[in-house]
Structure 1
Amino acid sequence: MARAIIKKANEADERRPFIAHGEATVLNLGALTVGRGFFEPGWQWSKDVKPLAGTESCEVVHTLSVLSGRMHIQMRDGQELDLEPGDVAFVPPGHDAWVVGDEPCRVVDFTGAEDYAQARTGKQEEPAQPPIQ
C-alpha cells in the first residue's frame, strides 16, 4: 500500500539554477516529481536553459499551472500561447518560451520536472569553428 507524503513546497529536494534569470526546483513525491519554476523578467528558454539542455528547443512535456506573472510560448510548428495567472496548460515538446513584462513568472509543473533544466550528460559537442577566411 502506498504511503501518504507531504513536503513543504519551499523545501525542494533539488535546485536547478538557470544560466541566468531564475531557477527550477524539484520535489519528489514517491512516483510523482513536481517542479516549480521561478522565471525572472528577461528569462528565455533559448538563452537561459538551452545551453544546459543541449537541444534546439525545449523537448520536455509540461502540464503546468501559472501562479503569477506571464509567459509566452512559441511552438516549433508556429502555434503561440500566452499564459497568465490561473491558467493551466499542456505544452508538448518542441517550444521556446519567455517571460512577458517586468513581473517574475512562477509555475508549478506536474509532468516536466524529471528532465527539465538538467545539465546534459554524455559526450559534449565540440564548439563550431569559424570558417577560415
Structure 2
Amino acid sequence: MTQSIEVRRFETPDDRLDMKAAGGISVVQMGTGNAGMHAVFAPGWTWEKDEKPLIGCPDACPTHHTGFCIAGTLVVRMTGSGEETEIKPGDFFEIPPGHDGYVKGDEAVELILFAAPDHSH
C-alpha cells in the first residue's frame, strides 16, 4: 500500500463501456483496486436494450452498485419482486444484484459509481 495520493480523471479512463448514442460508462481503476465509474445514459436508455448485450446477456444485472446521482431520473427495477425505485439528482444509493432499469423522461442520467476491489477471484 503506497502512501502517495492518487488522482485520476474520467476523461482518461482505464476502460470504457461504449453504448454509442445511448451513452456509456467510463472506468478509472485505482492502485488499491478500488474503481470509480462515470455513467451517462441518454433519454430512451434501457438496461435490456443498451447494456445487457454488452455484458453477455444475463437475465438481470449481476452487479452491486453504490453511487451518487448527478442528473436525470433512473428507474431501477428488482427483477425478482418487480419493485421499482426512482433515483434522482442528489440521491446516494445502493442497488443489490438482480435488477434492470431505464431512463425516465427526456433528461440524460449521470451517475458516479464506486466499486471496492473484487476479491472473489
**TM-score, normalised with respect to structure 1:** 0.78
- In structure 2, give the amino acid aligned to 1:74: R
| Cα RMSD (Å) | 1.7
Matches within 5 A, 1:72-111: 72-76=75-79, 77-111=81-115
Q: Which runs of 5+ in 2 are unaligned?
A: none
Q: How many corresponding residue pairs?
A: 113
Divergent runs of 4+, >6 A? none
The answer to whether the 8 Å contact 2:22/2:45 transfers is: yes
Matches within 5 A, 1:1-133: 1-2=1-2, 3-18=4-19, 20-30=21-31, 31-53=33-55, 54-76=57-79, 77-111=81-115
| Matches of 1:24 and 1:69, distance apart in 2 | 15
The one-character-per-residue Cα deviations of 1:40-79 (angstroms, maximum 9, x if unpaired) are 0000001101112220111111001001111001102222
The answer to whether the 8 Å contact 2:76/2:86 transfers is: yes
The one-character-per-residue Cα deviations of 1:80-102 (angstroms, maximum 9, x if unpaired) are 11010000110000011100111
| Matches of 1:74 and 1:66, distance apart in 2 | 16
The answer to whether the 8 Å contact 1:66/1:85 transfers is: yes
Distance 1:59 1:19, change over 3 A: farther
The answer to whether the 8 Å contact 1:20/1:43 transfers is: no
| Matches of 2:112 and 2:101, distance apart in 1 | 15
| Matches of 2:109 and 2:49, distance apart in 1 | 16
Q: Could you tell me how far 1:111 is from its partner in structure 2?
A: 2.2
SS in 1 for 2:48: helix
| Larger of the two Rg values belongs to structure | 1
**TM-score, normalised with respect to structure 2:** 0.86
| Matches of 2:47 and 2:90, distance apart in 1 | 21
The one-character-per-residue Cα deviations of 1:106-130 (angstroms, maximum 9, x if unpaired) are 0001028x8xxxxxxxxxxxxxxxx
